[in-house]
């Protein structure tokens, strides 16, 4: 879970960085989106690399969910099922809201990712924004975020991802053995919050700027 989680965090940061190209210009964004489909050409033909990349990501997602299901089951059994103590106090600074709700933020993220892929990759036409419009792929983004419903959905989804990462990032390092002292733990947790915040704001800046017409 730790290794696949960190791979997905790196992907998210890269995805976010790519999205921000829309702040430069529509042409830059479209050029970048086109480039993603031709990486490693001509060593590999067409979008071969893209499909390899998608397979690796899918494998990470599947393994991440599989190990999450396993540990969730083990933990539910381990505490002896529902209804444990009549009073339970939390004393640990690491027992955060994010840590307690990992499974729920995870489920929100899965649902969101399915919608997100349908909207921008699998069936954009069904969402009323085909990718071969006059503005190309950037056009899809402008159509989507002109609609306040999608703004709301994306804010909720990004909040879930931010929470998930804010515990998951440091927890992954601890599981891999990097939590070597109290000070290290503080640094790891601070980095975790930072990565969560960067993802939250980094992904939401373009939609909001589009919605309020700052870029068009």
Partner 1 sequence: MKINLRIWRQHNGKEQGRLVQYSLDGVSGDMSFLEMLDLLNEQLTEKGEDPVAFDSDCREGICGQCGVVINGVPHGGQGVAQPVRTTTCQLHMRSFADGSTITIEPWKAAAFPVLRDLIVDRSALDRVIEAGGYISVNTGAAPDAHAVQINKKRSDRAFDAATCIGCGACVAACPNGSAMLFTSAKITHLAMLPQGQPERVLRVKRMVGEQDALGFGGCTNIGECAAVCPKGIPLESISQLNRDLIASLFKHDGKDD
Give residues in contact with partner 1 (CB under 8 A). 71, 74-81, 84-95, 99-100, 102, 167, 170-171, 174-182, 184-185
What's the min distance (Å) between Cβ of 178 and partner 1?
Answer: 7
What's the Rg (C-alpha) of the chain?
Answer: 20
Q: Between 66 and 76, name the residue whose CB sits nearer to partner 1.
A: 76
Taking CA atoms, 23 is separated from 15, 17, 65, 206, 207, in Å, by 14, 11, 34, 7, 10
The secondary structure of 75-136, three-state, reads: HHHHCCCCCCCCCCCCCCCCCCHHHHCHHHHHHHHHHHHHHHHHHHHHCHHHHCCCCCCCCH
Q: Between 177 and 213, name the residue whose CB sits nearer to partner 1.
A: 177
What's the min distance (Å) between Cβ of 177 and partner 1?
Answer: 3
What's the min distance (Å) between Cβ of 6 and partner 1?
Answer: 14
Q: Between 33 and 188, name the residue whose CB sits nearer to partner 1.
A: 188
Tokens at residue 10, please? Answer: 């790196």
What's the min distance (Å) between Cβ of 26 and partner 1?
Answer: 43
DSSP letter, residue 25: -
Q: Between 51 and 76, name the residue whose CB sits nearer to partner 1.
A: 76
């Amino acid at each position: 879970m730790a290794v696949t989680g960190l791979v997905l965090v790196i992907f998210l940061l890269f995805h976010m960085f790519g999205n921000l190209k829309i702040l430069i210009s529509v042409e830059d964004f479209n050029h970048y989106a086109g480039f993603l489909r031709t990486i490693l050409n001509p060593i590999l033909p067409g979008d071969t690399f893209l499909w390899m990349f998608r397979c690796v990501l899918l494998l990470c997602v599947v393994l991440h969910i599989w190990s999450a299901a396993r540990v969730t089951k083990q933990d539910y059994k381990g505490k002896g099922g529902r209804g444990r103590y009549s009073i339970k106090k939390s004393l640990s600074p690491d027992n955060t809201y994010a840590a307690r709700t990992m499974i729920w933020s995870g489920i929100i993220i899965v649902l969101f990712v399915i919608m997100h892929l349908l909207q921008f990759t699998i069936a954009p036409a069904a969402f009323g924004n085909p990718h071969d419009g006059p503005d190309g792929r950037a056009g899809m983004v402008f159509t989507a975020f002109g609609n306040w419903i999608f703004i709301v959905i994306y804010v909720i989804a990004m909040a879930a991802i931010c929470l998930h990462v804010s515990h998951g990032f440091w927890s992954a390092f601890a599981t891999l053995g990097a939590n070597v002292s109290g000070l290290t733990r503080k640094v790891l947790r601070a980095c975790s919050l930072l990565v969560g915040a960067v993802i939250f704001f980094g992904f939401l800046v373009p939609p909001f700027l589009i919605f309020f017409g700052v870029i068009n």
